[in-house]
Amino acid sequence: MDIKEYSNGEITVLWKAEKCIHAGVCVKSLPEVYNPKERPWIKPENATSAAIIEQVSNCPSGALSIKPIIKIEREDNGKKGRFVIYENDEFAGEMTYTWAGESKFIIDHTGVEEKFGGKGFGNKLLMQSVEYARKKDIKIIPLCPFAKKVFDKDDSIKDVRA
C-alpha cells in the first residue's frame, strides 16, 4: 500500500491514498493544512501538532494516521544491561545481556510485548546491539534463541559474533 509522509518536524502524518474516501473532513476542519488543490496537499507546518493529532483521529476512513516515534535506549550497570525499545514512549520490548569480560557480552533474552508484535522490534533491538558492539569494538555471544537464529542467518553481522 502506498503511504505518503508529511512532517512538521515534530510529528509525521501518514496518508494511505487507497483508504481515503474523500469525505473532506480533514479539509473542512483544518483547511490551512489540507488542500487537495495544492502540492503537497498536506502541510502539517501550518498547524500545531496537537491540532493535527486531534484532526487525524477524526478521519472516518483511517486513511490518516500519525507515524509512531520509535526509540531505543541502553541501560547498563557494569554487569548486565539491556536495550529497550519504546513506541511513543510506551515500553515495547527489550533485549537483555550479561557482560562476559570487558570485550564480550552474552545476549540472553529478547522479548517484545504482544501488542507490538509483528513490527520487527526484535530485529531493531538486535541491530542496535550490533551497532553498539561495532562502535565499542566488542563481540556478542548470542545465547538467546532469537538472536542466535538471526546471527546464523545474516552474514552481514558475523563480524561482531564471538
Binding site for ligand SF4 (CB under 6 A): 20-26, 59-61, 63-64
Nearest Cα neighbor of 139 from 158, 107, 156, 161 is 161
Please, what is the minimum distance in Å from the beta carbon of residue 96 to ligand SF4?
41
- Taking the least distance from each CB to ligand SF4, the nearer of 14 and 162 is 14
Distance between CA atoms of 98 and 81, rounded to whole angstroms? 6
Please, what is the minimum distance in Å from the beta carbon of residue 11 to ligand SF4?
16
Instruction: Give the dihedral sign, CA 107/76/162/127.
Output: positive
Please, what is the minimum distance in Å from the beta carbon of residue 56 to ligand SF4?
8
- Taking the least distance from each CB to ligand SF4, the nearer of 63 and 72 is 63
Q: Can you read off the three cell numbers belonging to residue 51? A: 491540532
- Taking the least distance from each CB to ligand SF4, the nearer of 11 and 143 is 11
E strand map for the chain: 3-7, 12-16, 64-66, 70-76, 80-87, 90-99, 104-112, 139-142
Give the SS3 label for residue 32.
coil
- Report the helix count and the strand count for the chain, using DSSP H and E: 4, 8
Please, what is the minimum distance in Å from the beta carbon of residue 35 to ligand SF4?
11
Please, what is the minimum distance in Å from the beta carbon of residue 17 to ligand SF4?
9
- Taking the least distance from each CB to ligand SF4, the nearer of 29 and 49 is 29
- Taking the least distance from each CB to ligand SF4, the nearer of 62 and 120 is 62
Give the SS3 label for residue 4.
strand
